[in-house]
Amino acid sequence: MASASTSTPAGNKPTAIVCVGMAGSGKTTFMQRINAHLHAQKEPPYVINLDPAVLNVPFESNIDIRDSVNYKEVMKQYNLGPNGGILTSLNLFATKIDQIVGLLEKRASPEDGKKTIKNILVDTPGQIEVFVWSASGQILLESLASSFPTVIAYIIDTPRTGSTSTFMSNMLYACSILYKTKLPMILVFNKADVKNPSFAKEWMTDYDAFQEALRADEEGNAFGGVEGEGGGSGYMSSLLNSMSLMLEEFYAHLSVVGVSAMTGQGIDEFFAAVQKKTEEFKSDYLPELERRRDEREDLKRKAREKELDKMMKGMSMDTGKAKASGTGDASDEEDSDDVISDDDDNFVDDETDREGLQARYEAAAQGEDESMMEEASFAKYLHTQRQ
């Protein structure tokens, strides 16, 4: 089979599933569940752990950031806190992304008879900033997406999303990641065994249902206010109402599944959504990624051509100045009477002969004085003749 990055058919490339979510949403447990599910299907995935601060993971990783970067040492050396240490560790690890992609491509098209992988699972830290603001998150995702179909699985803690305000906060986080990464996304409402996520699906598809929940929260003093009066200042209610209208288009581009990482509920539905988003990546996202890559290459080419033009103009200007001063043409120098042959036994280096140089300066100055005197005498003669 040919290289995965060049001639491997798009349908045979493994799908990279990047699990993202806030701390406590159950990303690691969800990773363990889908890893176990794929092993049960006799399709073991290639697993990457990008959380440098985790002590133990309940699954075996093929690539682990902790093998390359010492999180505590990074905090110590750079005098950072926990979040800064995680971001800096990922920035350091991102410098090895070409090696990671190379390993993935080898496993996607093995030459030694090993079974071809069909899924790449990526576990990430709970810091959303990694993929919203950090350069390392963008580098990692763009590198994966340039070689493999890549899907973002945004893990949501369903029990903590029961109120309209926390639900909208999660949706805004998901929206920021979607438009930052420009990759297909699946909203995974985890812990469905604790709270049924059907209410969230209804809020995303039925505007009136969300408005009813919003009024209930407002009347229950969920947004502050005097006890018994309800409503608060009305600011939060108005804000959430406006955001729900704005996110209506955002919801249309998402797949929503409810799962339980503990019981395995909804895992089959999740992989069905992954397959759907993989096809969507190939049809919609891949052409856009290629267009953006071509634009970057075109900008780089134009920048190189601009620098080359500037350099050529600079060289032509230097050549013109040299010719104007009589020092740019070797043939002119050979015809000049000032050229002293190397075979001349009386050759004297004017750079070291300071006395000779001084004498030339004095002679030049004296000649200039004489010419000035001659001009002054001629002007005086003309003045006397006019009188």
pLDDT at 309 over 60: yes
Residues 279-293 have pLDDT tens digits of 999 888 888 778 877
pLDDT at 40 over 90: yes
Q: Give whole-number Cα distances, 192 to 124, 195, 200, 270, in Å.
A: 21, 5, 11, 13
Which residues contact residue 378 at a Cβ distance below 8 angstroms, ignoring those fewer than 6 apart?
none
How open is the CA angle 188-189-192, to the nearest 5 degrees? Answer: 130
Q: Residues of the chain with pLDDT > 70: what percent?
A: 75
Q: Write down the residue that tokens 């004297």 correspond to.
A: 348
**Neighbour order of strands in the sheet with 63-64:** 63-64, 46-49, 119-123, 15-21, 150-157, 185-190, 254-258
Residues 86-129 have pLDDT tens digits of 999 999 999 999 999 999 998 888 776 678 899 999 999 988 88
pLDDT at 19 over 60: yes
User: In 3-state terms, what secondary structure has residue 105?
Assistant: helix
User: What is d(CA 320, CA 278) in angstroms, rounded to the nearest whole number?
Assistant: 60
Where does the pLDDT of residue 336 fall: very low under 50, low under 70, confident under 90, or very high at 90 and above? very low
Annotate 254-274 with b (16+ C-beta within 10 A) or e (fewer). bbbbbbbbeeebbbeebbebb
Most confident of 8-17, 161-170, 343-352: 161-170
- pLDDT higher for 224 or 272? 272
Q: Residues of the chain with pLDDT > 90: what percent?
A: 41
- Predicted pLDDT at 289: 78
User: What is d(CA 178, CA 132) in angstroms, rounded to the nearest whole number?
Assistant: 9
- Predicted pLDDT at 342: 46
Residues 359-371 have pLDDT tens digits of 555 555 555 455 5
Where does the pLDDT of residue 341 fall: very low under 50, low under 70, confident under 90, or very high at 90 and above? very low
Where does the pLDDT of residue 37 fall: very low under 50, low under 70, confident under 90, or very high at 90 and above? very high
User: What is d(CA 130, CA 354) in angstroms, rounded to the nearest whole number?
Assistant: 68
CATH topology for 15-220+242-281 is Rossmann fold (3.40.50)
Where does the pLDDT of residue 191 fall: very low under 50, low under 70, confident under 90, or very high at 90 and above? very high
User: What is d(CA 167, CA 129) in angstroms, rounded to the nearest whole number?
Assistant: 19
